[in-house]
């Protein structure tokens, strides 16, 4: 899995690509923890290049959501491919997490 981070419109964007599973979720966890510890107040996870997410990856997403809420950070997920969107739907995440078509829509929706 590849992870890149950038700032856009005073928000932190974490873009993930490849597969998020038991062997790669620790890298994702380390990155979002670093961003929240640095004081991020708006965080968008860009998932357009994420091809696969396992149950371990979903647990990582849930931990991010809980931690972001506790720290008062607005959180959104943008640009999911169909497989990832299906996993979010099956897990019930679509009803508890803010999802958007793309990063620009997320930034607008989270403001």
Q: Report in angstroms the alpha-carbon separations of 57 from 48, 85, 110.
A: 15, 13, 23
Identify the pLDDT of residue 76.
98
Is the domain 2-110 a CATH 1.10.1530.10 member? no
Identify the pLDDT of residue 59.
96
| pTM for the full predicted model | 0.95
Q: Report in angstroms the alpha-carbon separations of 41 from 31, 71, 75.
A: 15, 8, 8
Structural tokens at position 101: 């078509």
Identify the pLDDT of residue 111.
86
Q: How confident is the prediction along the chain (111 residues), in pLDDT tens digits per residue?
A: 999 999 999 999 999 999 999 999 999 999 999 999 999 999 999 999 999 999 999 999 999 999 999 999 999 999 999 999 999 999 999 999 999 999 999 999 998
Identify the pLDDT of residue 37.
96
């Amino acid at each position: 899995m590849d992870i890149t981070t950038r700032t856009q419109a005073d928000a932190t964007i974490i873009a993930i690509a490849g597969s998020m599973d038991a062997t790669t979720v620790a890298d994702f966890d380390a990155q979002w923890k670093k961003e929240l510890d640095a004081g991020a107040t708006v965080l968008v996870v860009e998932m357009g290049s994420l091809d696969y997410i396992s149950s371990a990856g979903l647990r990582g997403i849930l931990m991010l959501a809980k931690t972001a809420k506790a720290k008062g950070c607005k959180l959104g997920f943008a640009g999911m491919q169909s497989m990832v969107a299906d996993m979010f739907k099956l897990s019930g995440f679509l009803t508890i997490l803010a999802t958007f078509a793309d990063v620009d829509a997320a930034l607008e929706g989270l403001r």
